[in-house]
Amino acid sequence: MIRAAALALFLMMPVWVMALDSENAFEFPEPSLPKILVRLPGDGTVTSSELRNAVQLAASANPREFDLREGFVRDVMLTMEYASQNITQPDVMDIGKRVRLAVEQSGGEDAFKLQLDKSGMTMSDIKRVVSKWLMLEKLVRALKKIPDGTEVKNEETLDVLKELGEKYKPRFYDLGIEKSLRVATVGGRNFTSDEVVNWLILNMNEKQLASILDNYVDEKLVVYEANAKGLDIKGKNQAAILAMLFADALTDEALEKYAAGIAKELTVVKTRHIFFAFDRRPGRAYVLSNVDAGNRAKAKARADAVLAAITRNELSFEKCADKYSDCPSASSGGDLGYLARSYDIAAGIPPEAYGLDMIATSAGKRTPISAAPLPEIFIATGKLQDGGVSPVVETSTGYSIINRIETRAITRIEYALPYLRVRRLNEKLEALLTYLKTGGEVSYFWRPSGADLKKHKSDVWVESKTEE
């Protein structure tokens, strides 16, 4: 039975579609896709063949993201063993029961939906995963002789997978970008890159496949725009083409003007705070959880009392932080360092751009700039003048009192140019893609959907009307 503790495991496991003919030889169904997936400006298109190439490139570059090596051979081994043990597809009713159980054990529909969103999966994906899990459970019961009604433990499942590895001796080579080469061997059966790509497309969740398709469309639109402008892009990669397209906006002079226009957004603010957690148990101060009204009221009362003491000048802000704050920064007077508006600014612009020095620690040097630990803190800081103290601010995990100490703007633009160049290029690219996609010349004839992908080519081949 799937327990809540196992939910994360089966959410991560890929789904698959394989078939065995009468001679127990694998048949990898080719996904049912229109020949033309997207119509582009200038009579350009994205074909199903191009999508297959894009999937192969993406998986070759990031095999771990797609569980390529381990996932493929595991699925092949399991399918071979299912045929050997006469394990059949589970009943639709059983799948529905397990899905409902998983929803209950995850904390209800809202919590389950949150987990789905984080995993990038849809309910269609989950039903296929549960189907897979039920088949695996049947296999483990058969091999380990576990009676019905007795829980199948994760350790027993992992033990079976280990035994199958020893039995089938799988090997996965390199998918690469070539076609029809042997890329895997399982149980003495060789598999080509074409077969592995079929497996990838059929087993990706819809969001993964949609992302690959959209990224490929974007790349072709960039090439279209470069050709329309008469740029010589032969032999150039995407980064080089973008640099050529937006060259005028990426000069040092243009970037300095750009920085001046967003100067306020790029400032960093030295900040202190005193934090009153809803949940004061060790290690729980910044944990999002359902806190009862009594604990919330106690945190608010503590915050109000400390703010009153600061306002009456009974204690300094630093001493109050040291004495009352639930944040690890309490020992340093509540010092949060210099806060940036976003993580990309904190990570992308070095402190030298603000006339600041790196901080030496036992683990090496680190920047004194970081993003606010909670967004409400930065919002409240923006409403203060240097030296100001905020009213009590409610955050997602407690209450804070904030002291804005000092504001720093960029004084040495040369240190910020790499960050500004990337940011400006991304903005220009987003604007270009939006313009091209909203001009009526980009039309999607197909989007990833589980209902479409699980059909075999032999069952249906959807022709695009635009090819007539």
| pLDDT(289) > 60 | no
Q: Which of 18-22, 223-227, 433-437, 464-468 has the lowest mean pLDDT?
A: 464-468
CA trace torsion 325, 327, 331, 337 (10° rounding) = -120
pLDDT tier, 161 (very low <50, low <70, confident <90, very high otherwise): very high
Is residue 131 predicted with pLDDT exceeding 90? no
Widest CA span of the chain, in angstroms? 87
Rounded Cα distance between 119 and 11, Å, is 7
Give whole-number Cα distances, 465 to 34, 36, 37, 38, 458, in Å.
9, 9, 11, 12, 20
- Among all chains, which residue has been given the structure tokens 């890329």? 183
Lowest-pLDDT choice from 16-25, 141-150, 390-399: 16-25
* 387 vs 110 pLDDT, higher one: 387
Confidence of residue 313 (pLDDT cuts 50, 70, 90): very high
Residue 421's pLDDT is what?
A: 97
Compute the Cα dihedral for 345, 350, 352, 355 and give only its sign: positive
pLDDT of 279 > 90? The answer is no
Minimal CA–CA distance to 132: which of 64, 193, 228, 203?
Answer: 203
Within 8 A by CB and 6+ apart from 88, the residues are: none
pLDDT value of position 291:
64
pLDDT at 91 over 50: yes
Query: What CATH number labels 268-408?
Result: 3.10.50.40
Determine the Cα angle at 225 with ends 222 and 226, to 5°: 85
- Domain coordinates in residue numbering, the chain: 4-215+448-467, 221-251+415-444, 268-408
451 pLDDT above the threshold of 60: no
- pLDDT band with cut points at 50, 70 and 90 for residue 11: very low
The string of pLDDT tens digits covering residues 375-434 is: 888 889 989 999 999 999 998 888 999 999 999 999 999 999 999 999 999 999 999 999
Handedness of CA 352, 353, 355, 359 (dihedral sign): negative
Share of the chain above pLDDT 90, in %: 51
Residue 51 has pLDDT above 80, yes or no: yes
Mean pLDDT of the chain: 84
| pLDDT at residue number 16 | 41
Cβ neighbors of 414 (< 8 A, separation 6 or more) are none
Average pLDDT over residues 35-44: 93
| Pairwise CA distance, residues 21 & 28, whole Å | 11
Choose the weakest-confidence range: 83-97, 146-160, 196-210, 447-461. 447-461
Q: Say yes or no to pLDDT of 233 above 90.
A: yes
Is residue 275 pLDDT above 90, yes or no?
Answer: yes
Asked if 386 and 406 touch (Cβ cutoff 8 Å), the reply is yes
Of residues 221 and 464, which shows the higher confidence score?
A: 221
What would the pLDDT profile of 185-220 be if each residue is shown by its tens digit? 998 888 888 889 998 888 887 888 999 999 999 999
pLDDT at residue 155, rounded to an integer: 92
The pLDDT assigned to 177 comes to: 61
What are the pLDDT digits (tens) for 322-350?
A: 999 999 899 999 999 999 988 899 999 99
Burial of 322 (0-12, 13-18, 19+ CB in 10 A): middle
Q: What is the pTM of this model?
A: 0.74
Res. 460: pLDDT tops 50? no
Q: Which of 431, 390, 222, 418 is nearest to 304 (CA)?
A: 390
Q: How far apart are CA 186 and CA 180, in angstroms?
A: 17
**Residues 347-376, mean pLDDT to the nearest whole number:** 88
Q: Which residue has the higher pLDDT, 115 or 10?
A: 115
